[in-house]
Amino acid sequence: MTGFQIAGAGIYLLFYGCYLTKMAAQRKRGIETDQMGKGKTGSAKVIESAMKAAAYGAAAAEIVSIILDTGRFAPPVRIAGALAGGAGAAVFIASVLTMKDSWRAGVSRAEKTALVTEGIYRISRNPAFLGFDLVYIGLGVMFFNWALFAVSFFAAATLHLQIVHVEEPFLAEAFGEEYLEYRSRTCRYLGRRRR
């Protein structure tokens, strides 16, 4: 096993391990974390269902690419990918820990959650999605192949569509002025706006 495979497997296990551990912990407390496509109709259902399928496809393509060590780039480029992927896993873990029991995969109209604006959410309205994107980029650079690129790009695109067309309208409706004020000062992915 190469150093890149070890690093890639570590990023993969940290990222998806956090995701699955959080879902299992919430399930024990009676919280249904996976809300993707559930109870939705129209474009919201299509977007969240596509996002779920794309995320599973990306996870499968990543593990196959890591096992086969499909990397094509020079070692310094692959190291940059490892750094991006590691940062993505760290950002994702920080977002999940900060959200506590308000964390969901997909939007739930049935369950009332809090609007989280503290911690990592002070610099990103969507740090979990930022984490996903950094992991997709990082592992994609480390183990580049066209299948991994295509499925990762599609997954990132569906995540963005879910944010713009499902999550943001829902948050504006659910939290009103509180969310609109938060949105006005905090960027969608990274950064704070000057006031």
pLDDT of 30-71, one tens digit each? 888 877 878 888 998 999 999 999 999 999 999 999 999 999
Domain around 136? 3-102+112-185
Two tokens at 142?
């480390």
Which of 65-96 are b and which e, b meaning 16 or more Cβ less than 10 Å from the residue's Cβ? bbeeebbeeeeeebbbbbebbbbbbbbbbbbb
Supply the pLDDT for residue 116: 93
How far is Cα 194 from Cα 68, in angstroms, rounded to an integer? 46
Supply the pLDDT for residue 112: 80
> What is the reported pTM?
0.92
Supply the pLDDT for residue 194: 65
Examine residue 190 and state whether it is found in any structural domain, yes or no.
Answer: no
Examine residue 193 and state whether it is found in any structural domain, yes or no.
Answer: no
How far is Cα 2 from Cα 67, in angstroms, rounded to an integer? 10
The CATH number of the domain holding residue 178 is 1.20.120.1630
- Site of tokens 């309208």: 169
Q: Which residues of the chain have pLDDT under 70?
A: 194-195
Examine residue 171 and state whether it is found in any structural domain, yes or no.
Answer: yes
- Site of tokens 């990592």: 120
Examine residue 191 and state whether it is found in any structural domain, yes or no.
Answer: no
Report CA-CA distances (Å) from 140 to 7, 85, 113: 13, 9, 34
Examine residue 67 and state whether it is found in any structural domain, yes or no.
Answer: yes
Examine residue 32 and state whether it is found in any structural domain, yes or no.
Answer: yes
Examine residue 195 and state whether it is found in any structural domain, yes or no.
Answer: no
Supply the pLDDT for residue 158: 96
Examine residue 175 and state whether it is found in any structural domain, yes or no.
Answer: yes
Could you give the number of structural domains in the chain?
1
